Amino acid sequence: MSRAPGTARSVTPGDGETAPREPAGAVRDAVRSAAADGPALAAFLTAGFPEPDRFVDTLRSVASEADVVEVGVPFSDPMADGLTIQRASRAALEAGVTLPWILEGIRSARPAAPVLLMSYLNPLLARGLGTLAEEAAAAGVGGLIVPDLPWEESGELREAVEPRGLGLVQMVTPVTPPDRLATLCAASRGFVYAVTRTGITGAAVDVAPVLSFLDRVRELSPVPVLAGFGVRGPEQVRALADHADGVIVGSALVETLERGEDPVAFLRSLRPTREELR
């Protein structure tokens, strides 16, 4: 990875959902713009996997096709992730990947699409929330997804990141109670992460049972809704297109990178044509 830092994005304090030039607002606007022509595509990759030396190039390639990129911070106990991402996280940790290294890589890459960090809470606490927020904003990160941080316990992190224009994306599931679903949708910044099933990432999702759930989320959410967990092929993207603003592809992309295949070609293959969306 190149050690030369890039130029930090300008950040204006305030609410990311009302200031489009702020990082969280840029994430929201990127999803909305893409969704106007078909489902938006958010792509997840594990930082430093499969080759740490190619992280910057891989990020740039993925960001050239995806509308939003989620950069996964490797963690020793990724409780929401299936075997593919567990394997990728372990390999990245064994290669010496750290949070400061990741942020420097994002800053150096200057990716074409907005970037979010997807991390469990421990690495963020270890870095220090104030330091994390400052470094993430300087790197051009638009927000964070923290799967093991409940909304009720997120105040300290929100106080650190929101003055810098970064937002916390909230995750909802088919078993989220109605009152809590409304709270999380109202609180989410950038987009709402609608988990398509209970359990961990990886296995292909059965789309039909979650469509009514996605419809409820869209009715409640003031920001776009992206469906994730188990989205692996174009047929699922087409089936979800009328019920979400876009999809999140994680394990299938990580497996593509693991096999040494072209991530751009894979992501492009997921996008429905206009005829298919009619």
DSSP 17-54: TT-TTSHHHHHHHHHHHHHTSS-EEEEEEETT-S-GGG
Residue 225 placed within a domain: yes
Burial class (CB within 10 angstroms; exposed 0-12, middle 13-18, buried 19+) of 251 = buried
Annotated catalytic residue 206:
no
pLDDT of 19 strictly over 60? no
Asked if the structure places residue 121 within a domain, the reply is yes
Q: Which domain holds residue 102?
A: 23-268
Q: Per the residue annotation, which of 81, 135, 162, 245 is the catalytic one?
A: 81
Is residue 13 assigned to a domain?
no
Catalytic residue among 22, 70, 104, 135: 70
Q: What is the CA 249 to chain-centroid distance, rounded?
A: 9
Q: Is the pLDDT of residue 244 over 70?
A: yes
Residue 93 covered by a domain: yes
- pLDDT, residue 8, reads 30
The model's confidence at residue 229, banded by pLDDT at 50, 70 and 90, is confident
Q: Is 156 helix (H, G, I), strand (E, B) or coil?
A: helix
Query: What average pLDDT score do residues 89-116 get?
Result: 97
Residue 17 has pLDDT above 80, yes or no: no
Tell me if the pTM is above 0.85: yes
Q: Which tokens is 200 given?
A: 């961990």
Q: How confident is the model over 151-169, as a mean pLDDT?
A: 96
**Is the pLDDT reported for residue 177 higher than 90?**
yes
Asked whether residue 7 is assigned to any structural domain, the reply reads no
pLDDT at position 13 is 32
| pLDDT one-digit tens code per residue, 24-53 | 999 999 999 999 999 999 999 999 999 999
At 21 the pLDDT is: 55
Q: What is the mean pLDDT of the chain?
A: 88
CATH of the domain at 51: 3.20.20.70
pLDDT at 167: 93
Is the pLDDT assigned to residue 189 strictly greater than 60? yes
Q: Tell whether 17 is covered by a domain.
A: no
Domain count along the chain:
1
55-73, pLDDT tens digit by residue? 999 999 999 999 999 999 9
* 1 part of a folded domain: no
Q: Is 8 within the bounds of a domain?
A: no
Of 2-11, 23-32, 220-229, the range with the lowest mean pLDDT is 2-11
81 in active site: yes
